[in-house]
Structure formats: C-alpha cells, structure tokens
A and B are shown apart, each in its own frame.
Chain A
Amino acid sequence: MPWGTIIAFLLPALTFYVALTAYPAFRTLWNSFHKVLPRRTEFVGLLNYEQLVRDEIFWRAVRNTITWACASPLIEVSIALLLAVALYARVPGARFFRIAWFTPVLMSYVVVGILWMWIYNYDWGPVNVALRAIGLGFLAKPWLGDPATALPSLIFVTSWMWVGFNMVVLLAALHSLPRDVIEAAELDNCGWGAKLVFIILPLIRATILNLIVLSFIGKMKIFDLVWITTKGNPLWATETVSTYVYKRAFEWTTFDLGYPSTIAAVWFVIVLTTVLLLTWAFRQRDRLEY
C-alpha cells in the first residue's frame, strides 16, 4: 500500500475533522463534568447531570422536540406519498410541479421564519384574514402567541417546507420501479387504492423508511426556525433542546458553559441511540418479511 500517498490525500480532511469536529465533541464531554466560567474551570463531577435530571425546562424542551421529531415524518411522508402517486400518473406539467414544490426547502429558516410570522400575524396575516373572510373570525388567533397552538403551528411550517423534498425523492423511487409489475397489476384490474397499498408501498419501503429517519434527525436538531419566530415562547411551548442549549450557553447571565455542555452531551446520546434503534428496527422488519 502506498501509505505516503494515502496519508497525503486524507490528511487535510482528517485535520479538519479532528480539529473542528472530533476534538470539540470530546471537549464538550469534558466540559460537562466541569463548571466552565470565562476565567476559571472547576471540576464538579456529576453535579451538572444531577441538576439536569431536575431541570423542568429541559424536560419540557425534550418533550417538544420529540413531539416535533415524531409528528413531522408522519405528516411529511404521508402527504408527499399522495402527491407523488398523483404525479406518477403522468400528469401534464410534472417537471414544473416538481421544481415548484422543491422550492421551500431551498430557503433558509430565517427567511421562512419571518415569512410565516407574517402569515400567522393576528391582524393582517393571511390565515386570520381568510378565516374572517369566510365568517370563521372567532377562530382567528395569534397562532404563535398562544401556548396551545404555537408548537403545532411551527410543525406545520416545517411540513410546508419539507413535503416537496419528500415528494421528489418518492417520485424518483416510483420512476425507478419496474413498469411491468405495475402494468401487471393494472391487467389484474387492481384499483388505485389497492395498487398503492399492496404493490407500490412494499416496493418503495426502503425509501420511505429512509425519509422518515432523515426527517426525524432533522427535527431533533431544529433551532433556526424557533429562534427566529418564537425563541421558545410562549411559556416554553416551543422550546427545543437546541434553543435551550443556546440560551443557557450564550443568553443567560450564568456565564457557565459546563451545564449547557451537559445538555448537549445527554442530547447527543439520546439522538444517537434513537437513530440507531430506528435503523435497527427497520432492518429487523425487512429481514422478517423476506
């Protein structure tokens, strides 16, 4: 093996990886056992972890984030599937639709967040304007200001953003299916619903499961959208783990980087375990079916 060449090719990438990913990750773990003040660091053992267990805001943030991460994949993938199947039936203008639907996902959460703050605006946002116009004015409310509707409203925004992406991926999967299988089903006088459930779904299962995992991971990390729109308000109704870590590290005047590092470390383990469990569970079921 030409070790010199291999090292030369890999060294730049590994340097970036070690210096700006691996080392910071370990340093965060180290931080989590310390009190890290601007001028002094002090070993505190498991104190941060004990505090974390009793931190109600943290658990609230965990609940919110997990709700988000579980609801989003289901909403996004199911709507996307319906749209993709509709498009698959050779509708005119498919290319145009494809490009148009993909657009929201290309915009930054900052742009999307501001845009939807306006859409949800109490006085002149299109949602309330439309409700009042059709005589349902009593339903109009400050969508992001009400603790009961704030989180669902934000989940709706991410769905708006990501359905198009999921749809395009599913469409690609549908187009790569062997046509004769589907044609055979048509010959057997199989209706659309039956064709979807018994033929198409099993064939593109792998893609669907991948999309679910992908969407799940994305929502476990969510920060930008919340930070721009609600900053976790009202009453922690939209607090996510990411926003809480940011607040504890850079907004609260505790100046301690140790405690937020503990949150980050615990969350890291939770995300990693759930993602591994998900992939493992999906694999298992695959094996059983064959």
Chain B
Amino acid sequence: MVRRSLVLLALSLYTAFAAGPFVWVAMLSLRTTTEIHRNHFAFPDPAHWEKFPEAWFNSNYGIYFANSLQIVLGAVAVLTIVGAMAAHCLARYPFRLNRAIYFILFSTIIFPPQITIISLFQILVGYNLYNSKLGLTLVYVAIQLPLTIYILESFFARIPQDLFDAARMDGYSDWEIFWRVALPIAFPAVATTIILNFILLWNEFLFAVVLITEETNRTLPLGIQRFIGDTQEDVGMIATGLMIAIIPVIIVYGFFSERLIQGMTAGAVK
C-alpha cells in the first residue's frame, strides 16, 4: 500500500511537471503585464478575458488564425484524397515496382528538411508561388504525404480481398471500389491521418518561415514569432497569443485523444 502511494505521488509530480507550464501560460494569458510583473505566479483575479479580442483584432491574430486554418485545412483535404488514392493502389494492386515505389516514398520520412528547403524556395520564387498561401499549402501536402501513405497503406492492406472481389462481381468500377468500399471501411485510419496532419501542420514552423514573409500571409507560429520580436516585454499579451495557438490543438485533442495518440505512435510500434 505504501509503495502504491509512493508510485502515485511520483506520477502526480511528473504530471504537474508535464502539464504545469500550460496551466501557467493559461493563467498568464488572462492577466495584464502590469499584474504579471507584480507577481508572476498569481491566479488571474479578475480574469481579463478582453485580452483575447484585443489580440485577435489589434495584433493581427485574427488574420494569422484565418491563414493557418485556410492553409492547414486545404493541405489536409488534398493530402487525404491524394494519400488515400496512392495508399489504396499500393495496398491493392501487386504490380511490379510496387514495393520500390512504396520504399522510395516511405524513406523520405527520414530526410532532413534542409535537403529540399533551399530548392523549394528557388522553385516557388520561379513559379510566383513564393510568399503565397497556395505555395505553402502545396509544400505542406508534399512534406506530409509519405507519413499519410505509410499509415493508410498498412490499414488498406488489412482489408480482405474477398470484399473487393465481391464488389467487382457487383459491377463496381476500380474508382467505385476505392470510393465506396475501401474508403468507408478505412474511415478510422483516414480520420487518424486527418487529425494527425492537422496538428502537425498547425504547428509547422520551418517551411513557413522560409516560404512566407508577408504579414498578410503569416500563419500562427510565424505571427507569434513576429509578435515576440516586436514586443519582447509584453509577457501578458504574448501569453494570450500562445493560448490562441494552443486552444484549437486542445479542442481537437479533447475530442480525439485516443485516435491522435494512435496516429502519433503508429510509426513507433511494429
């Protein structure tokens, strides 16, 4: 019994360590910088909710948020369709070169991003896509495609072949088999990749910082970075900005925690 309580105590301490910083930033986000400088660790009393609309409207967080949403949702939509098509094809048709293509796509997961980023900058400049939301969206599709195909392929491959044979007897075309049989059955895996890609791209920073410079096209991570550059000392307002970036992630996590954990850990467990 004593040992059990000790374990529980250790676990609780670790939980405080892991989650504490977020509780702290949540408290800071509801306090003004003057209040914060009086005491950095007090509860928000009174809670300054008005700081959120202030950041949203006066510090461009509304624009950053809308940009992030547009780019990330666009990329996730394309990724899901394009990735699912490729994964279905690789899982279902045992053609020559099948494994070679799979391996080439999959091996890009370990590429350090530097190998493409400088050239991507040149290419996007060449096609007038530099500093545009469309350009970043396309790049986001490309960087998440290997992981998406990897997760979906392993799921598609487990769907029994009989199902497809039956569908073919019923006169389904190849496309209908994909769209009306494979995709609905694979829905859990598809949902996992959607949520996973959403979170990873929502947080993406390196490609955004290289490919976007204009204020009106900045995503949230870039906006926050610019904001700390401008207002080093305004801790209260920065915290509010951080919360604006954190809240969507927390909401998605709240609804889909199990699915998200599954997706994140898919690559690590054989």
Decide if A138 is an interface residue (CB 8 Å cutoff): no
In the bound complex, CA of A275 to CA of B106 (Å): 14
Decide if B225 is an interface residue (CB 8 Å cutoff): yes
In the bound complex, CA of A21 to CA of B113 (Å): 10
In the bound complex, CA of A91 to CA of B123 (Å): 54
B116: contacting residue among A25, A241, A260, CB under 8 A: A25
A17-B145, A20-B142, A108-B245 are known contacts. Are A223 and B206 too (CB-CB below 8 A)? yes
In the bound complex, CA of A111 to CA of B202 (Å): 12
A111 touches B245 (CB 8 A): yes
Q: CB-CB < 8 A to B209: which residues of A?
A: 227, 246
Decide if A290 is an interface residue (CB 8 Å cutoff): no
B19 touches A103 (CB 8 A): yes
Decide if B11 is an interface residue (CB 8 Å cutoff): yes
Q: CB-CB < 8 A to B110: which residues of A?
A: 217, 271-272, 275
A1 touches B95 (CB 8 A): yes
A257 touches B142 (CB 8 A): no
A114 touches B89 (CB 8 A): no
Q: CB-CB < 8 A to B260: which residues of A?
A: 106
Decide if A68 is an interface residue (CB 8 Å cutoff): no
B203 touches A109 (CB 8 A): yes
Listed stretches B52-60, B79-87, B158-166, B184-192; interface member? B79-87
Q: Which residues of B contact A (CB under 8 A)?
A: 4, 7-8, 10-11, 14-15, 17-19, 21-22, 24-25, 40-41, 81-83, 85-86, 88-90, 93, 95-96, 101, 104-105, 108, 110-123, 138-139, 141-143, 145, 149, 174, 178, 199, 202-206, 209-210, 221, 224-225, 228, 235, 238, 242, 245-246, 249, 253, 257, 260-261, 264-265, 267-270
Q: Which residues of A contact B (CB under 8 A)?
A: 1-3, 5-6, 9-10, 12-14, 16-17, 19-21, 23-25, 27-28, 31, 36, 83, 86-87, 89, 91-92, 97-111, 114-116, 118-119, 124, 126, 129, 160, 163-165, 168-169, 172-173, 206-207, 210-211, 214, 217, 220-221, 223-224, 227-228, 241-242, 245-246, 249-250, 257, 260-261, 263-265, 267-268, 271-272, 275
Q: A172-B269, A242-B206 are in contact. List 5 more A-B contacts (CB 8 A).
A: A13-B86, A25-B115, A27-B122, A228-B205, A275-B110
